[in-house]
Chain A
Amino acid sequence: GNSVTQMEGPVTLSEEAFLTINCTYTATGYPSLFWYVQYPGEGLQLLLKATKADDKGSNKGFEATYRKETTSFHLEKGSVQVSDSAVYFCALSEGDSSYKLIFGSGTRLLVRP
């Protein structure tokens, strides 16, 4: 079945460091890919998405590129801030119109001043 694998955390960085959180997926067909972020005490929020191969999703300085050849959707940010400390979830849906999300296990990011 379809699945998502994320790197285990926590990831601890200093402010202004470069961030990469790895995400790979297994899926049949042409899934859409998502990154969600969960700040302490809040619900998951959609951070960015990509719906087809080679698409790049971006938001708030974060980027991820849909790589079909490597089945990956790694999250990157050039310069993290303390306010980026949160849990990040990679997810896929089974096609652009599907309601069902399949999540990775989440990666906690801690950014120190």
Chain B
Amino acid sequence: GAVVSQHPSWVICKSGTSVKIECRSLDFQATTMFWYRQFPKQSLMLMATSNEGSKATYEQGVEKDKFLINHASLTLSTLTVTSAHPEDSSFYICSASPGRYPTRKADTQYFGPGTRLTVL
């Protein structure tokens, strides 16, 4: 149980285009979803947190107009990288939790396998 999927698993796009990444909870309702970014040989960095039906809360330094997050249902969240540039190339990971931010414990997060974005 507690499976989270991401689509696509990898994507290559041209500079200036927008890319959408989906995160789905397959067998539970994800009240809260988290989006992380990971650079090579570096740790996962939390980008934003979203509760279903609410606006996302972005971490300091993350451009909310650049990384649009939509969490319109209890099983789906999307991250759209707008006007992507080569510096946005990274590994994007989502996680989902059945609890509602910010009261749930950290270890109730279930992680997706990640999406590798390459911007040419």
Contacts and interface: CB of A to CB of B under 8 A. Distances in A.
Interface stretch (B61-69, B73-81, B99-107): B99-107
Interface of B: 4, 32, 34, 41-46, 49, 93, 95, 97, 99, 101-107, 109-114
A42 interface: yes
B41 A100 contact: no
Contact of A105 (B42, B103, B111): B42
B101 A45 contact: no
Query: Which 10 A-B pairs give the minimum distances between C-beta atoms?
Result: A43-B111, A93-B106, A44-B111, A103-B43, A103-B44, A105-B43, A43-B113, A43-B112, A101-B106, A105-B42
Contacts of B45: 103
Contacts of A101: 44, 46, 106, 109
B113 A42 contact: yes
Q: With a 10 A CB-CB cut-off, give which of B42, B44, B99, B114 has the most chain A CB atoms.
A: B44
Nearest to B46: A100
A32 B46 CA distance: 17
Contact of A99 (B93, B104, B113, B114): B104
A104 B106 contact: no
A99 B101 contact: yes
A9 to B, nearest CB: 9
Contacts of B114: 43
Contacts of A32: 106-107
Nearest to A41: B113
A97 to B, nearest CB: 6
A102 B34 CA distance: 13
A73 interface: no
Contacts of A82: none
Contacts of A104: 43
A99 B106 contact: yes
A46 B107 contact: yes
A106 B43 CA distance: 7
Contact of B49 (A42, A46, A93, A99): A99
B101 A43 contact: no
A4 interface: yes
